[in-house]
Amino acid sequence: MGSSDSILAGIGATVLAVALAVCGFAFCCMPPTTNWLASSMSLGEESPYTHDQLVQLADVTRTYTVDQRSLGDDPVQAVANATLTCAREASAKGSPKADLWNAQAKAVLDESAADASPDVTMEKLAQVSDRYALDSAAMTHLDDCYRAITGVSSWLGMIGVAALLVAILLFVRKQFAALAFMLRVGPVFLVVVLGILGLWAVIDFNGLFAVFHSFFFEDGTWTFPADSLLISMYPLTFWQGMAGVWAAGAIGLGVLCFVGGCAASWRAKQQAAELAAEAARAAKKSKKGKKNRG
């Protein structure tokens, strides 16, 4: 590799590692991921909602957090409507959760039958207890998450494009050794970083979780009571599972890149052998020409 190609390969390996992490995060944002983890982790035992209702609400709030436009012109009302529908079902006579709804919460639901503003009713219900509905603080946090995701997604997308462009440039220039370096070192660098974070998570997941959130949210805006609806939908085990999906997705794609790097390394060895053979033929031809002239 020339010096310029070495620099390009180093840059490519770095942006590839970041791009793989971004792809892992993209797996976390997919609807099936939330549904699967919520089905496995959502806390329905002591919640006034059934397990299935918590999963349903987790799906709706995921959409609100990641892709609000798909909820229509007023995504807040869509979340409120889904919450109130589940609330009326859970508090209805004969429901397995009916005993967990107090008279005040049921009165709010009864009085709101003709209310044209579901978000107002949801807030009133949350004021009785945030076990029953998402209060303004919870909705604000979801809005903060949405802004964080949409705000960095374009920049992260550009990192992925940069990694792809560097790989294409090296391939077109037939710099297979540099391409092999990029495709193998990038995933290794990612695995090292994930290994450090994984060890941190094993030792103190709450601490890692807090540090991660401190980069995106103000202190006090992302903590909620353990029995609140938001935490019942998304308990700590949910986020531990999400971290696992993130790591597995990033590493899985990294393995594919590493295999591609091995293929590029094999091609680089072939290329070196071809150049060596060509140089040997040229030297032999030159030696023969000098002998004939002599």
Residue 206 has pLDDT above 90, yes or no: no
Average pLDDT on 214-238 reads: 89
pLDDT grade for 196, boundaries at 50, 70 and 90: very high
Give pLDDT, residue 219.
Answer: 83
Residue 293 has pLDDT above 80, yes or no: no
Give pLDDT, residue 2.
Answer: 56
Residue 292 has pLDDT above 60, yes or no: no
Give pLDDT, residue 114.
Answer: 60
Supply the mean pLDDT for the chain: 88
Tell me the pLDDT tens digit for each residue of 149-193. 888 777 777 888 888 898 898 888 888 999 999 999 999 999 999
User: Under DSSP, is residue 114 helix (H, G, I), strand (E, B) or coil?
Assistant: coil
Residue 291 has pLDDT above 80, yes or no: no
| Lowest mean pLDDT segment, chosen from 14-23, 106-115, 201-210 | 106-115
Give pLDDT, residue 278.
Answer: 79
pLDDT grade for 282, boundaries at 50, 70 and 90: confident
pLDDT grade for 213, boundaries at 50, 70 and 90: confident
Average pLDDT on 78-96 reads: 94
Residue 95 has pLDDT above 70, yes or no: yes
**Sign (positive or negative) of CA dihedral 96, 100, 102, 105:** negative
Asked if residue 84 lies in contact with residue 109, where contact means CB atoms within 8 angstroms, the answer is: yes
pLDDT grade for 32, boundaries at 50, 70 and 90: very high
**Cα separation, 91 vs 109, whole angstroms:** 9
| Tokens standing for residue 18 | 């970041």
Give pLDDT, residue 59.
Answer: 95
Q: Which residue has the higher pLDDT, 54 or 206?
A: 54
**Which of 79, 43, 42 has the alpha carbon at shortest distance from 61?**
79
**Sign (positive or negative) of CA dihedral 116, 118, 123, 127:** positive
72: left (phi over 0), alpha (psi -120 to 50) or beta: left
Give pLDDT, residue 221.
Answer: 85
